[in-house]
Structure 1
Amino acid sequence: MLTFIKGLDAEETGILTRAMMLSGDTLSWPKEWEGKLVDKHSTGGVGDKVSLILAPALAACGMKVPMISGRGLGHTGGTLDKLESIPGYTVLLPSDRMQKIMEDVGCCICGQTANLVPADKILYAIRDVTGTVPSLPLVTASIISKKAAERVNALVLDVKVGNSAFYSQDEKLGREMATSLVRASSMLGTKATALMTRMDNPIGHCIGNTLEVAESIQCLRGKGPKDLRTLVEELGGCLIDSLQGTNTGKQQIANTLDDGRALAKFRDMIVAQGADEHLADRLCGLPMDDIDEVWQVLKKAENETQLLAERTGYISSMNSLEVAKVCLVLGAGRAVATADVDHSVGVKLLAHVGSHVKKGEPWVTIYHQSSDFNDGLADRLQATLEYSDSPLSVPDIVIGMVKPS
């Protein structure tokens, strides 16, 4: 509580982070992987499926990616929840199995082991019940202690800024968070770069676990929404350039998406983590010209409902936080840590910010179980849109960058 009220300076934050990192195991890797070990962390966003694409794309560039991710709590969907919509996918891996997968494939995406930064679990539980979760030093120590325990050479941080961001609703707060995370990483010997990215509108067109897997595969096939691909290229490019001292990282990532190497790594990763080979081949073999192709392989919700635009015009904004909260009600996320997730539900946006729509034209499809969608939720979704009579330019998704000093 004292930290929440008074804060910590940079040195104190670094000392806390190091103590948390050393409260349990730290990972170790073969010497020949030195200079290739990388990871990414996002502060959480609506429709944020970047990790599913970035990890295999980096592996296809020759990197080693031990990505330890989390589950969703509240309005943000967790990377592990998305991947568990693939039958058989296992997120709990012992360290020797994790190393074997990285040796064979180059990447894995798994959950935190029981003795990796155990202090974080205790401190987070205390923060939760004392209302001290949104404290910059405590957030910094929680994030960086886990990433430093992975013993990677370089880390890229995606700091979300906007009305749907967890901590940083404006650019000033975003820069403070980015600076704190980069500084703490440097104190623990990890080279980190932070990108501040916009989180006012959903990332991509899909929110919901299976739908986000489908959109990830679409991007891995060189297709998909521009904003999602831009994030993957920018974050991956930062990592590669920070290690290699080049400015070709973005192009290297783009090449793996366009030539199929990243998709092949994704297929090999999900098989290595328990998915059936035949299912993985079917899933990754879908053309994905339409997201709905995923229902040929993975479980679909009982019903789908489309909502129609209430007026003609250009969509000038979309309240992504409210869209995510509706998805939470449908079962796509968990309001409490012990809740189950329904992987098959969610929303697919048929129009996005900047799109022109006509009154009576469908703008969103909701996938839901028979009794879970009602007029109240429909009204909430309709209220997320604001319209303009004139076309508008969509601002760049990357706001700024913070590098080690």
Structure 2
Amino acid sequence: MTLPQEIIRRKRDGAALSSDEIADVVDGLTTGAMTEGQIAAFAMAVFLNGMTRDEAVALTLAMRDSGTVLDWSDLPGPVTDKHSTGGVGDNVSLMLAPIVAACGAFVPMISGRGLGHTGGTLDKMDSIPGYTSQPDTALFRRTVREAGCAIIGQTADLAPADKRFYAIRDITGTVESIPLITASILSKKLAAGLGSLVLDVKAGNGAFMARKRDARKLATSLVAVAEGAGLSTTALVTGMNQPLAPAAGNALEVAVAADFLTGRARPRRLTDVTVALASEMLYASGVAGNTREATERALDALETGRAAEVFERMVHALGGPADFLAGHADHLPKARATLAVTAEAEGYVQAIETRRIGIAVVELGGGRRRPEDTIDHAVGLAELAPLGTKVARGDPLAIVHAQTPAAAEAAAATVRAAYTLGEARPKPDKAVIRRVTADG
């Protein structure tokens, strides 16, 4: 085994690491043989010098093999999943998994917690009382078989090397490294035993990749490395210059998902991204013969209520209330204080500094400053005005949900500063920007 400091030095100096050296790093991550300082130094060396495709494939496979790799060959249908690189108000997974499952595929969705200013799907699911977000393998498998999908977190035996690496990257300024993001995402998905994968790569001021060209570069890396590791993968680059859902914060986003699935409210932008990803998953998994048929099937699953039924079965199977969708307002936690963020002038919403919206949620307690921080699932922002909204002076731009009036005031100031109003209506902000495949 090569000394960790020698591997760090080689990567610091721009060398391409061998698969054996990368395996040594992953072994050190898994066993604890590498210190937190050494892992942080390795992450920074990769952040600054990058990795070749072969290095990224080797890192991905080594992290996959650091734990159990699931086998779903006993299921009577294709196994597929989606992963988002993270955004603000991105609650798509909560609707997407049941939509796809209602169409005949199986979706074992292993999700992450919040990272930086972006929310995590797992934190959203933890808002649901009784929901077991980290079940044992037997319960996970049973839920996928019986409900068609299960949204859970990494268990201790699935890609354990990534779990430690993920937490350290979050606090060392190395989140945005393309090869590290690639290996982190794909190691978990490969460990989940998927037959196909669709990626949602965010681009915009609320994403880790603010520029479209950087998001496309990440999407291309993800698809290339996934294909190199033997997993059929496509990606959509989607816009994140504004929150995707009209809410940011865990329980508030779950409420939006409940209203979406039951048909009470389906915001257009959120619908566009959700249905586009569902179409990709149904086509990639072979459930639909083309994307047009896939889109029709996804919409039918929503309109007939079958997707809502799947979501309810999943929630109940994992310990949540059997009547969650009908009674979500009673089941979800509520903050003690609410405050409207009002417009200080008349005009159109011309721009939103979406990262500030995410930071406001973190400052309220809805995200983490440190890996060990406890999440307050009740706090966040609701009724966020989207780009292009016309407002009069005093109209609400958002509603803050906080635990104290002082926290609400502080968040309101952050949100107000994130909004730019002007006289002209801005051009529509495209929800789905580009499709990326292995062919380019």
Please confirm whether the aligned pair reaches a TM-score higher than 0.5, indicating the same fold: yes
Deviation of the 1:376 alpha carbon = 4.0
- Residue in 2 aligned with 1:290? none
Which among 316, 334, 345 is matched to residue 271 of structure 1? 316
Residue 26, structure 1, aligned to residue 60, structure 2: no
Partner of 2:23: none
Greater alpha carbon shift after TM alignment, 329-338 vs 1-10? 1-10
Residue segments in structure 2 that go unaligned for 5+ positions in a row: 1-41
**Map 1:4-403 → 2, pairs under 5 A:** 4-33=47-76, 36-124=78-166, 127=169, 131-166=173-208, 168-222=209-263, 223-244=265-286, 245-247=289-291, 248-277=293-322, 281=323, 283-285=324-326, 294-349=328-383, 351-373=385-407, 375-403=409-437
CA drift of 1:130 comes to 5.6
After superposition, the C-alpha distances for 1:113-163 in whole angstroms (9 at most, x for unaligned) are: 112112223444554566443321122111111111111111010001111
Amino acid in structure 2 at the alignment position of 1:264: E
1:291 match: none
Q: CA deviation at 1:81?
A: 1.1
Distance 1:112 1:401, change over 3 A: same
On the 8 A contact 1:330/1:372 being kept in 2, the answer is no
Question: Does the C-alpha gap of structure 1 residues 375 and 59 become closer, same or farther in structure 2, counting only changes over 3 Å?
Answer: closer
By how many angstroms is 1:76 displaced?
1.2
User: Structure 2 CA distance, aligned partners of 1:139 and 1:43?
Assistant: 8
Q: Which amino acid aligns with 1:334?
A: R
Question: By how many angstroms is 1:375 displaced?
Answer: 4.2
Percent of pairs identical after alignment? 40
Report Cα offsets for 1:150-187 as digits up to 9, x if no partner. Answer: 11111010001111112x11111111100110111111
- Rounded to whole Å, the distance in 2 between the matches of 1:347 and 1:126 is 28
Determine helix, strand or coil for the equivalent of 2:366: coil
Q: Cα offset for 1:33?
A: 3.7
Cα deviation for residue 23 of structure 1 reads 1.7
Relative distance call for 1:141 and 1:390 in structure 2 (3 A) is same
Rounded to whole Å, the distance in 2 between the matches of 1:178 and 1:236 is 18
Give the Cα–Cα distance (whole angstroms) in 2 for the partners of residues 46 and 350 of structure 1.
11
Give the TM-score, by structure 2 length. 0.85
What are the ranges of 5 or more consecutive residues in structure 1 without an aligned counterpart?
A: 287-293
2:339 is paired with a residue whose SS is strand
Matched letter for residue 319 of structure 2: G
| Aligned residue pairs, count | 392
Q: 1:27·1:95 contact (CA, 8 Å) conserved in 2?
A: no
Indicate if the aligned counterparts of 2:108 and 2:151 stay in contact, CA closer than 8 A.
Answer: yes
- Do the aligned partners of residues 126 and 260 (structure 1) sit closer, same or farther apart at CA in structure 2, a change above 3 Å counting? closer
Moved more, 348-357 or 98-107: 348-357
User: Residues 210-267 of structure 1: CA distance to partner in whole angstroms, max 9, x if unpaired?
Assistant: 1111100111123321111111100110111123241221221111111111111111
**d(CA) in 1 for partners of 2:156, 2:268:** 38
